């Protein structure tokens, strides 16, 4: 499939042609394109979202792999890494195998998952042989961190001590977040940091860190819609998070969908979570169009650093790299979800300056500005995919 487009090539924006299958086969100046995207915007590597919950299985009423990844491509995301707190949870080898199979069948983006901490080291070792991205460490897992500590796989930390889970929400302080970082070691990535201090501490300990758009933008926890874990912090912490755009390694959405009826429950009972997988990329590119961020920094946050942290090959438009692209145009519009089962988020009607006109996964158009198509994503951790990338290159 030949695409003509304006794209970032070796540090310069050029117009040319890309021959895209699973990976980029050839780049050259002229061609007779199958699809001409040169007037649709700037073609860039599609984003990687390292923190999503796609639900499905017993929680298919909240979201499914199909609806969640459809929402992702609407937001310019070409790869999602899923968290293990599904029902049933992914905390053993057999469940990990069936989840990977399920994702392989239904994901419209490239995909993998972070497995939960299993019961013992043997099981952790067996699971590490699967094409997972690593392990997710929830606050309640900190006591059994030793089970995965020896694994070479990446450990993603939900940074809060277990005490946070049993605290009243207004007592759920950010020191509980900082404290948890001292309880882990090795190859650790700290996710959804709610404060700049967490990011700085993570970096000083040799870890990597991300933050979400909602912890910066949402004006306090006011209702079920804005209820999320860890909680949205006070105005000072939120403003300081602006600096995270320059200091954190990457951004993630923590896309956490719930049913409308669940979010309509009384505040004390409603489940925490915001479903923003499609918001992050257009928001970050809006900052580029407003001259708040450079294009390079935006690509670092959205795709290059996630690839680096995960240890997978994404983020460049060069022969041999995956053909996962987003076409971004400058356009004023107001955000809403579109393909997710969640129709209400705190970002509704947020004014954006960047729009995703196309998303391409593995060389095929998966979103064309109107519809989402059933393109099949690949697991970059699967050996077959890695070998194929090498031979195609
Ligand atoms: Zn999460």
Please report, for residues 14, 42, 175, 325, the alpha-carbon distance to residue 17 in angstroms, rounded to integers and kept in the order given: 10, 13, 51, 13
Task: Name the residue among 187, 143, 185 with its Cα closest to residue 161.
Answer: 143
Distance of CA 329 from the midpoint of ligand 1 (Å): 29
Amino acid 391: pLDDT: 56
Question: Could you tell me the pTM of the whole model?
Answer: 0.96
Amino acid 387: pLDDT: 55
Tokens 């042609």 identify what position? 17
Distance of CA 272 from the midpoint of ligand 1 (Å): 10
Distance between the two ends of the chain, CA-based, in angstroms? 16
Distance of CA 333 from the midpoint of ligand 1 (Å): 27
Distance of CA 339 from the midpoint of ligand 1 (Å): 20
How many other CB atoms are found less than 10 A from the CB of residue 168? 7
- Which secondary-structure segment (H or E) carries 95? helix 93-106
Tokens 């194929």 identify what position? 388
Q: Which of 3.40.50.300, 3.40.50.1100, 3.40.50.1820, 3.20.20.140 would CATH assign to domain 2-392? A: 3.20.20.140
C-alpha 328/C-alpha 298 separation (Å) is 12
User: Which residues does residue 111 pair with via DSSP β-bridges, in sequence order?
Assistant: 80
Distance of CA 391 from the midpoint of ligand 1 (Å): 36
Counting Cα atoms < 13 Å in the Cβ hemisphere of 275 gives 29
- Which secondary-structure segment (H or E) carries 74? helix 65-74
3-state secondary structure of 357: strand
**Annotation says 197 is catalytic:** no
Amino acid 169: pLDDT: 84
Taking phi first (over 0 means left), then psi (-120 to 50 degrees means alpha), and beta for anything else, what does residue 97 get?
A: alpha
Please report, for residues 1, 10, 121, the alpha-carbon distance to residue 21 in angstroms, rounded to integers and kept in the order given: 7, 20, 39
Distance of CA 108 from the midpoint of ligand 1 (Å): 20
C-alpha 138/C-alpha 136 separation (Å) is 6
Distance of CA 84 from the midpoint of ligand 1 (Å): 9
Phi and psi for 5 in degrees, rounded to 5? -160, 165
Distance of CA 286 from the midpoint of ligand 1 (Å): 24
Q: pLDDT tens per residue, the chain (393 residues)?
A: 999 999 999 999 999 999 999 999 999 999 999 999 999 999 999 999 999 999 999 999 999 999 999 999 999 999 999 999 999 999 999 999 999 999 999 999 999 999 999 999 999 999 999 999 999 999 999 999 999 999 999 999 999 999 998 888 888 989 999 999 999 999 999 999 999 999 999 999 999 999 999 999 999 888 999 999 999 999 999 999 999 999 999 999 999 999 999 999 998 899 999 999 999 999 999 999 999 999 999 999 999 999 999 999 999 999 999 999 999 999 999 999 999 999 999 999 999 999 999 999 999 999 999 999 999 999 999 976 665 555 554
Q: Which of 56, 110, 210, 254 is catalytic?
A: 254
């Amino acid at each position: 499939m030949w695409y003509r487009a304006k794209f970032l090539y070796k540090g310069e924006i050029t117009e040319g042609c890309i021959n895209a299958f699973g990976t980029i086969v050839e780049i050259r100046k002229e061609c007779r394109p199958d699809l001409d995207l040169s007037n649709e915007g700037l073609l860039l590597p599609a984003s990687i979202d390292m923190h999503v919950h796609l639900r499905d299985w017993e929680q298919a009423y909240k979201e499914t792999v199909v609806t969640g990844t459809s929402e992702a491509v609407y937001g310019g995301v070409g790869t999602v890494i899923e968290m293990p707190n599904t029902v049933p949870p992914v905390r053993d080898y057999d469940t990990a195998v069936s989840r990977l199979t399920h994702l392989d069948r239904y994901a419209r983006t490239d995909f993998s998952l972070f497995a939960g901490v299993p019961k013992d080291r043997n099981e952790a070792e067996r699971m590490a042989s699967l094409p997972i991205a690593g392990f997710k460490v929830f606050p309640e897992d900190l006591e059994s961190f030793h089970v995965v500590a020896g694994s070479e796989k990446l450990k993603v930390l939900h940074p809060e001590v277990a005490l946070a889970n049993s605290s009243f929400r207004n007592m759920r302080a950010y020191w509980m977040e900082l404290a948890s970082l001292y309880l882990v070691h090795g190859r650790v990535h700290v996710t959804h940091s709610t404060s700049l201090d967490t990011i700085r501490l993570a970096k000083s300990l040799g870890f990597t860190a991300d933050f979400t758009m909602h912890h910066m933008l949402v004006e306090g926890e006011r209702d079920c819609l804005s209820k999320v874990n860890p909680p949205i912090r006070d105005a000072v912490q939120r403003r300081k998070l602006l600096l995270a755009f320059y200091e954190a390694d990457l951004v993630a959405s923590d896309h956490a969908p719930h049913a409308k009826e669940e979010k309509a429950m009384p505040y004390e009972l409603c489940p925490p979570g915001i479903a923003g997988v499609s918001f992050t990329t257009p928001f970050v590119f809006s900052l580029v169009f407003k001259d708040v961020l450079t294009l390079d920094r935006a690509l670092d946050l959205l795709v290059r650093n996630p690839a680096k942290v995960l240890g997978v090959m994404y983020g460049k438009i060069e022969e041999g790299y995956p053909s996962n692209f987003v076409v971004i145009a400058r356009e004023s519009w107001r955000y809403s979800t579109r393909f997710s089962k969640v129709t209400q988020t705190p970002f509704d009607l947020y004014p954006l300056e960047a729009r995703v006109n196309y998303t391409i996964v593995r060389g095929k158009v998966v979103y064309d500005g109107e519809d989402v198509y059933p393109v099949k994503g690949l697991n970059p951790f699967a050996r077959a995919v890695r070998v194929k990338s090498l031979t195609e290159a």
